[in-house]
Chains A and B, each alone.
Chain A
Amino acid sequence: AQKVTQAQTEISVVEKEDVTLDCVYETRDTTYYLFWYKQPPSGELVFLIRRNSFDEQNEISGRYSWNFQKSTSSFNFTITASQVVDSAVYFCALSERETSGSRLTFGEGTQLTVNP
């Protein structure tokens, strides 16, 4: 069965610090997809990134970067020079290719608080 673990329940940083959110996953499938979503206080989840299991290239988007390592089954998310607006709950999610379509398994989330 697939599983996503986000061991960091809460993280608190001061503005401009870099912060890394950890995500470890378990799957038996050789083809799978990993996602990160952001949930601001308003409650609506916002899509950040999707990665497939064949693409281990790291990705950077502005202040956001993602490190995908199949050897350790991890898909970590780093925010550089954090800002107060980054405060939110961040979810990592996994989808297996087979018959599940876009069905996602979510981790429990990491509450990030960026203090001014």
Chain B
Amino acid sequence: DGGITQSPKYLFRKEGQNVTLSCEQNLNHDAMYWYRQDPGQGLRLIYYSQIVNDFQKGDIAEGYSVSREKKESFPLTVTSAQKNPTAFYLCASSLAGGPNEQFFGPGTRLTVL
């Protein structure tokens, strides 16, 4: 089955630690995205990548970093510089160009203690 996987579903970390969220897709999509969702709010774009080895900052990139070494993978690192990292993180992918429909993963709920 084609789709997007995110792991883990729930993640707990101590304050001050970096943490990496995984996102993998087998849809053969060129573009991938990371969003953050806070309770009662819409999705806000953190980073996106339209092609391997290239990515752009979204609206709230501070305190986050990404890499895009493979087409299938777009991991997100939440660094200790992120002031309020507790949130629900969603990864998505789409065909290149666009605007095209984005397909979403199941999300990772990160809680920083």
When each residue 14-46 of chain A gets 1 if its CB lies under 8 Å from chain B and 0 otherwise, what string results? 000000000000000000010101000011111
> Would you call B106 and A43 a contact (CB within 8 A)?
yes
> Would you call A35 and B101 a contact (CB within 8 A)?
yes
> Would you call B99 and A100 a contact (CB within 8 A)?
yes
Partner of A102, one of B31, B40, B42, B105: B31
> Would you call A95 and B41 a contact (CB within 8 A)?
no
Cβ of A100: which chain B residues have Cβ within 8 Å of it? 99
Within 8 A of B (CB), among A66-116: 91, 95, 97, 100-109
Partner of B99, one of A4, A42, A104, A108: A104
**Contact A9-B99, Cβ < 8 Å, known A44-B104, A103-B45, A104-B45:** no
When each residue 43-65 of chain A gets 1 if its CB lies under 8 Å from chain B and 0 otherwise, what string results? 11111001000000000000000
> Would you call B42 and A108 a contact (CB within 8 A)?
yes
Of chain A, the residue at the smallest CB distance from B3 is A44
| B interface residues, tally (CB under 8 Å) | 30
Partner of A106, one of B42, B94, B101: B42
Beyond the given pairs A47-B101, A102-B94, A109-B41, 13 more chain A to chain B contacts, judged by CB atoms under 8 angstroms and listed by A's residue number, are A4-B42, A6-B42, A44-B90, A101-B31, A101-B96, A101-B97, A102-B31, A103-B58, A104-B45, A104-B99, A106-B44, A107-B42, A109-B40
- 27 CB contacts below 8 A, A to B, read A4-B42, A37-B104, A42-B106, A43-B106, A44-B90, A44-B104, A44-B105, A44-B106, A45-B90, A47-B101, A47-B103, A50-B101, A91-B42, A101-B31, A101-B48, A102-B94, A102-B98, A102-B100, A102-B102, A103-B45, A104-B45, A104-B102, A106-B35, A106-B42, A106-B44, A108-B42, A109-B41
